[in-house]
Amino acid sequence: MFSRFKKEETSPAGAATPVTAEPKQQVSQPKPAPQAAPLAPATAASQSKAERRREKLGEIKIQVHKILLDTLNLAALDKVSERDLRGEIQLITDEYLTESSMILNREDRETLNNDLYDEVVGLGPLEPLLKDDTIADILINGPRQIFIERNGKLQLSDVKFKDDKHLLRIIDKIVSAVGRRVDESNPYVDARLLDGSRFNAMISPVAIDGSLVSIRKFKKDKLGIRDLVGFGAFSDQMATYLEAAVATRLNVIVSGGTGSGKTTTLNALSSFIDNSERILTIEDTAELQLQQTHVGRMESRPPNSEGKGEVSPRDCLKNALRMRPDRIIVGETRGEEVIDMLQAMNTGHDGSMTTIHANSARDGISRLENMVAMAGIEMPLKAVRNQISSAVHLMVQASRLQDGSRRMVSITEITGMEGEIISMQEIFRFQRTGLTPDNKILGHFTATGVRSHFMERFKMWGYDLPRDLFEPTQG
């Protein structure tokens, strides 16, 4: 039954014959030493029952996994049904437990078999975390410390790797699947999991206390503006204004810190783009989930082991300009591609959007100036600011507050130049009013009372926003 994915042994005559399914022949490992089973009394006294159970299952899993690696033809696993593979794993596990005179209850057997299946075809201990939709980030600090983020808060999970070699094997499995590599000569890597999750890893000698891994999970559900308003990320008034801004092709930059919800906000804003427009997206790691029909997606690529084959975001952006886009959306602007992005916004590709790392709208402008300077472009500061002020219309500031909640804390318009300074006006903000006893932030969204600089533009495009939209509100 399982000859399709069993390793083959070569007979003395040179003929290849499949390994038989005879139980005693499958389990070729010797019996484990007696001390590998129950824990010593001194250790048991200091550990909880759950910890002892996990440790016992972990030891069994290591032994059976070695047998699976020796027994199964891993190259043929993609041709085998999940049911057959799970059946074979269960058979080998039962053989090992019988040979070792070990008894496990049904729950522990199911846990063991599921863990072994994840080790063989998945990402081992990470699989349950990747399948948990309530987890947004997985952060690994060495094999014994895995943090997860739920609802904006980090917490230590009870998931562990056996050792750093085990963790390295999973890292290698991930990066090799996408044609990347990581080793001592190239100790860090960016990759994308099959489900679209963003993956970053650093290993020794850069990572001192064990390999470091960060996984930003890909959200399968496309969150729209209504969803974010329902979550309290911003208000109905702000949504009405943003709809007009995006539909009338203002150039928008979403700024914020790491994990503040920039990409989620960008996805939501893109829902206001007309379905007839041609959109090109450029990302380091594809995360955007645009809902329009005419979308061309591009992903940059790092150099190979010989230092060749790199495709930078700037390369993608230059080519995108030749592909007749109505709008260009760059997942994140962080380097010299800022020059091409600003030129695109200034030369007929209005309605373009991107994200940057910054703590406020004013900081975002300074960051754009710094990126232009770092690109090696010799331009007077006033000329750079003129370029920015004419290219960028709107700064949307996202933030993750200390209680873990994500808010759109400010919407700011760029109105031009006053002398050598870029002039800006804040239209909406999140007004904090206090804290609850359990440290939840209290506050409300309010307009600042400043009338939009783009009211005439909105009216010309058919968006006649009411004046009271810009009136301050009390929480």
Greatest mean pLDDT among 281-285, 292-296, 403-407, 454-458 lies in 454-458
**pLDDT tens for each residue of 464-474:** 999 899 999 87
Return the DSSP state at 190.
E
- Residues 380, 401: Cα–Cα separation, whole Å: 37
Residue 427: alpha-carbon gap to chain centroid: 31
- Residues 232, 407: Cα–Cα separation, whole Å: 7
> Which range is least confidently modeled, 20-24, 131-135, 235-239?
20-24
> Which range is least confidently modeled, 66-80, 124-138, 217-231, 388-402?
66-80
DSSP structure string for 129-172: HHH-TT--EEEEESTT-EEEEETTEEEE-S---SSHHHHHHHHH
Over residues 91-111, the mean pLDDT reads: 79
Q: Which amino acid is at 220?
A: K
Q: Are strands 146-150 and 137-141 parallel, antiparallel or unpaired?
A: antiparallel
Structure tokens, 203: 């290993």
Where is pLDDT greater, at 3 or 238? 238
What per-residue confidence (pLDDT) applies to 388? 94
**pLDDT tens for each residue of 266-296:** 989 998 999 999 999 998 877 888 878 899 9
Of 322, 335, 323, 331, residue with least CA distance to 299: 331
Q: Is CATH 3.40.50.1860 the right assignment for the domain spanning 124-219? A: no
Over residues 366-384, the mean pLDDT reads: 89
Each domain of the chain, given as residue ranges in start order, spans 1-121, 124-219, 225-470
Predicted confidence (pLDDT) at residue 4 exceeds the cutoff of 50: no
Q: Which fold has domain 225-470?
A: Rossmann fold (3.40.50)
Greatest mean pLDDT among 61-75, 102-116, 171-185, 274-288 lies in 274-288
Q: Tell me the C-alpha to C-alpha distance, in Å, between residue 304 and each of 176, 240, 316.
A: 12, 46, 17
> Which range is least confidently modeled, 10-14, 112-116, 234-238, 377-381?
10-14
> Which range is least confidently modeled, 301-305, 354-358, 371-375?
301-305
What per-residue confidence (pLDDT) applies to 68? 67
Of 460, 242, 259, 251, residue with least CA distance to 346: 251
Predicted confidence (pLDDT) at residue 25 exceeds the cutoff of 80: no
- Residues 446, 429: Cα–Cα separation, whole Å: 6
3-state helix, strand, coil in the chain (%, to 5): 35, 25, 40
**pLDDT tens for each residue of 235-259:** 999 999 999 999 999 999 999 998 8
